[in-house]
Amino acid sequence: MSVLERLAMPVLHRLDPEQAHDLSLLALRTGLGPRTGPVRGMRLATRVAGLDLPNPLGLAAGYDKNAVAIGPLLRAGFGFVEAGAVTPRAQEGNPRPRLFRLPVDGAVINRFGFNNEGAEVVAERLGRPRPEGVLGLNLGANRDSPDRAADYAELVARCGALVDFVTVNVSSPNTERLRDLEGRAALSALLRGVMERREELPRKPALFLKLSPDIALPDLGEIAELAMELQLDGIIATNSTVARDGLTDRQAIQAGGMSGTPLFERSTRVLAQLAYVTEGAIPLIGVGGVRCGETAYAKIRAGASAVQLYTGLVYGGLTLVPRILSELDTLLARDGFASVAEAVGTGRQDWL
């Protein structure tokens, strides 16, 4: 950790978790974060869904929900950044407290419920000048929407041309019955509607789908087949889980989605299964429990073309980003890979 992080982290961890989260965003906006730009290296540069990434490590959605710190985050070392989730209309989300640290387990439980300032505000921020870098936006549906599929299409129409990729998030466990949209028929109609609206844009973003780690294997296979049929640009595996396997922290009783270290094995097995079913036809992005170079490398070898993290930053700070990438570069070199792309899927069988 940097000196600043060593001083700040104990203070932040004495605050309410959501208050600490908001304070960390404020610190970035006032210039207290890293300013080095994306970490670069010959082995680390890669291409995913037509997007050229300086490195394969991205920031997952959920940290910068309202796109308030895009510039500082793009300068913090990441290969790409995903803002959101955003919904068409602003909404408060679930009652507080709704974010809980589980330091004993290296995990976090959240039940935010898509709290955000809405598409109009976020679109205005996305349209401002920012540093070069690959930027995505996670899309959600309003809790009280009479037509949730239409919400996603509306968001693509309003925000899609302002980012490099959009992610259809039907896998959050914190909006009631949202995961019902992961069923093949409902998901097919939703995605086709999104794709129709995307075709109307002057600048078309890549289209990703984010899946739950709790989905049954037969359903996972059906979704993978649908993704290939529709020629989606990528799948993000996975969101947080409602499972509590192996947790020992007293906060494990909290309702919501659990992320962090205990999610690593579950999410990586889903990733490997997707890689097996799709056979490289669709790029995969692995997320869930990435906290060091070894875990990032394991996801790549399981089938991920790129990876994301969020919870790891709660315990490791932003200096975790260059550290993971340095470790990953060393591991690629150790095993004789000249690039990330060469390593993708080489260890998939270990997770099946």
Give the residue numbers marked as catalytic. 172
Backbone dihedral angles phi then psi of residue 111, each to the nearest 5 degrees:
-135, 50
Cα–Cα distance for residue pair 266/272, rounded to 1 Å: 10
Pairing of strands 99-102, 107-110: antiparallel
Cα–Cα distance for residue pair 303/8, rounded to 1 Å: 36
- Identify whether the C-beta of residue 232 lies closer than 8 Å to the C-beta of residue 163: no
Q: Map residue 172 onto helix, strand or coil.
A: coil
Tokens of 149: 């599929």
b vs e for 237-261, b when ≥16 Cβ sit within 10 Å of the residue's Cβ?
bbbbbeeeeebebebbebebbbbbb
Residue with tokens 């869930």: 288
Sign of the alpha-carbon dihedral angle for 227, 228, 232, 236: positive
- Identify whether the C-beta of residue 13 lies closer than 8 Å to the C-beta of residue 20: yes
- Identify whether the C-beta of residue 315 lies closer than 8 Å to the C-beta of residue 293: no
